[in-house]
């Protein structure tokens, strides 16, 4: 007979709705305003589900954008509410065990730590700040054999994969969507909300407190420019034209992701036709992708570090690619800031083959400056996260095209025959 244990937790009405939803749905997407208590509700749900699970060695996970954030945001809640069950606390691994049950905290910047594990339940917190492959490639597979559940929680971060999950939950019968706007929950005083609106501005206020996905990501380098392109109907299906100059632009990761943008240029248009990104695989995988999609014989733009020789082989990656038959050009080495300006000059000329390159567009929208939490100010440098490799390969493309015959000073000539 199971022993009833009180966690000394009193759920607010929105938190109660989260718990009720997970009693009836396997996948729950929760879009919530700041200070609603969504993280606390998630931690309580992990403890509750772990305590009730009848399977052998239940495993549960809380995943934040970074390991440091998981520790800062959720660890105190988890250790506090599990004291009553006399959980064994492992501070070095952010893990608690009670009986054969385990709840662990992770940061998605080290996605490989999640591979090869099984989970009975997972919370993905601040989904919009995390790489979409965390769910698509790792967590979904980890839930399969145990038929586990997942709770996605967060505040909007522009038009990205969190918005996609929100829309999916709204339409798909076996998913549940919960939205909690500050004006509806009444958890925060009206005077406080009015003050926040004055200080933050209406667009940012609506994102943080009214669950709006329309605001550009704070600190984003390119979001507003891409939003303008979308308003001009330039994120649309585009036909390939092999009469145009075709270029593949790479960012090569050593121990992390490599990304490739494919573009065609004509007159004063840059058409982004394809995008590919992978992780933890060799150069042969990327070359095979180029072959399979008939991009192998176009010019390949590469970053300067491709010329560095590897200790194991004594060859550079440039030599490996050239020996395979690729037409390679190393782009001019300039500062990141100058490269970002090159992208800003190029973007007004761009058309994106959408939704084929959606992953790349989402990354560009979310590529942003690093933020200093203590000083409450942005650094004058990009944040290195899941968007970085896509943005870097796009930056090399802009720099590479800056040095070609493409005439950026000419008026933009929009040719509507390329819109399908």
Tens of pLDDT, residue by residue over 256-308, are: 789 999 999 988 899 999 999 998 889 999 999 999 999 999 999 999 989 88
Who contacts 171 (Cβ-Cβ below 8 Å, separation ≥6)? Answer: none
Using pLDDT thresholds of 50, 70 and 90, give the confidence band for residue 417.
very low
Cβ atoms within 10 Å, residue 242: 8
Class of domain 13-209: alpha beta
Domain boundaries, the chain: 13-209, 223-418
Give the integer Cα–Cα distance in Å for 418 and 239.
Answer: 6
pTM summary value: 0.82
Say whether pLDDT at 112 is over 90.
Answer: no
Using pLDDT thresholds of 50, 70 and 90, give the confidence band for residue 311.
low
Who contacts 173 (Cβ-Cβ below 8 Å, separation ≥6)? Answer: none
Look at residue 280 in the predicted model and tell me its pLDDT: 83
Using pLDDT thresholds of 50, 70 and 90, give the confidence band for residue 404.
very low
Q: Which CA distances in Å does 305 have to 158, 254, 287, 383, 397?
A: 33, 10, 18, 20, 15
Query: Average per-residue pLDDT in the chain?
Result: 90
Dihedral of CA 405/406/409/415: which sign?
positive
The CATH code of the domain at 223-418 is: 3.30.420.280
Look at residue 312 in the predicted model and tell me its pLDDT: 64
Q: Do domains 13-209 and 223-418 have the same CATH topology?
A: no
Tens of pLDDT, residue by residue over 53-68, are: 999 999 999 999 999 9
- Helix spans in 172-282 (H): 182-185, 190-200, 202-209, 223-231
CB 275 within 8 A of CB 359: yes
């Amino acid at each position: 007979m199971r022993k009833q244990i009180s966690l000394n937790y009193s759920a607010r009405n929105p938190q109660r709705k989260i718990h009720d939803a997970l009693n009836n749905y396997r996948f729950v997407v929760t879009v919530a305003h700041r200070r609603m208590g969504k993280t606390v509700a998630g931690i309580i749900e992990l403890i509750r589900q772990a305590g009730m699970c009848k399977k052998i060695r239940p495993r549960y996970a809380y995943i934040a954008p970074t390991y440091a954030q998981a520790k800062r945001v959720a660890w105190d809640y988890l250790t506090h509410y599990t004291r009553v069950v006399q959980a064994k606390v492992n501070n070095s691994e952010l893990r608690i065990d009670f009986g054969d049950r385990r709840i662990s905290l992770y940061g998605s910047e080290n996605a490989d730590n999640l591979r090869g594990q099984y989970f009975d339940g997972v919370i993905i917190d601040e989904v919009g700040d995390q790489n979409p492959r965390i769910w698509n490639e790792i967590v979904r597979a980890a839930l399969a054999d145990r038929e586990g559940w997942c709770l996605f929680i967060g505040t909007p971060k522009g038009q990205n994969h969190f918005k996609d999950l929100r829309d999916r939950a709204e339409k798909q019968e076996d998913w549940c969507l919960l939205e909690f706007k500050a004006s509806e929950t009444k958890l925060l005083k009206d005077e406080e909300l009015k003050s926040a609106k004055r200080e933050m501005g209406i667009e940012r206020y609506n994102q943080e407190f009214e669950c709006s996905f329309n605001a550009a990501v704070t600190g984003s380098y390119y979001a507003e420019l891409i939003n303008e392109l979308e308003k001009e109907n330039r994120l649309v299906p585009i036909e390939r034209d092999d009469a145009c100059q075709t270029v593949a632009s790479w960012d090569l990761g050593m121990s992390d992701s490599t990304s490739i943008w494919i573009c065609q240029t004509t007159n004063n248009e840059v058409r982004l036709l394809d995008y590919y990104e992978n992780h933890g695989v060799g150069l042969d995988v990327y070359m095979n992708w180029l072959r399979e999609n008939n991009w192998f014989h176009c010019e390949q733009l590469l970053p300067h570090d491709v010329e560095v020789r590897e200790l194991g082989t004594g060859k550079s990656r440039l030599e490996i690619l050239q020996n395979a038959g690729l037409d390679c050009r190393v782009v001019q080495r300039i500062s990141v800031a100058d490269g970002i300006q090159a992208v800003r000059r190029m973007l007004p000329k761009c058309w994106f083959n959408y939704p084929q390159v959606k992953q790349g567009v989402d990354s560009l929208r979310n590529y942003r400056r690093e933020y200093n939490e203590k000083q409450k100010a942005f650094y004058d440098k990009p944040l290195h996260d899941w968007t970085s490799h896509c943005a870097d390969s796009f930056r090399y493309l802009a720099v590479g095209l800056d040095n070609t015959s493409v005439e950026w000073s000419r008026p933009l000539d929009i040719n509507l025959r390329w819109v399908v």
